[in-house]
Amino acid sequence: MPDKKTIRKEQTKKLRALDPIVKADNEKALYAKLFQTSSWQKAQSVAVTASLPFEVNTRPIMEQAWQEEKTVLLDKIVDGQMFFVEIDANTPLTTGDSFGILEPESNHAVAKDQIDLVLVPGLAFSDAGLRIGFGGGYYDRFLQDYQGASVSLALPEQRRADWVPDQFDQVVDQVITIDEVD
């Protein structure tokens, strides 16, 4: 079995090579499924990451949440710790130190118990809810004692299960694919 570092490289290359039109169509199918889940419908607050160009685009998710008058939270990493900050469409964002992802300028963290739904990013997802992220362990640490719902959106190219999980890997409650909700 390949190690996680190898899988990260393979998945990043595979995602960067996706046809933009096919990717956009698949994203629309994922959004539609997400918005129908009870996790989404019950959530008053939704935590996301600002996606990189090759990831599932999270901007339409934020826009839908604002349209439904949900609170949108964006992740931020400071001194090796990840937390979420409330944002709106006009919140200034800056490139963070970790992975070059856009983050809010504010450091005003929202308490974990105030977050109803976390959309967990990743490069690969198994049907059992295991994931390979970017290697920082931020989401695994966050999910350890998080009590709300966690969901990941997986493009067809992100589905695989050919790795051995580490003891600190956290399982996502629900992996949404274009075929089904696991």
Q: Report the binding-site residues for substrate.
A: 55
Structure tokens at 164: 């051995």
Joined tokens for residue 99: 């992975």
Residues making up the annotated binding site are 4-8, 55, 131-139
Cβ contacts of 135 within 8 Å, gap of 6 or more: 4, 5, 8
What residues form the annotated binding site for ATP?
A: 4-8, 131-139
Instruction: Give the helix ranges, DSSP H, for the chain.
Output: 4-16, 20-36, 38-42, 59-67, 138-143
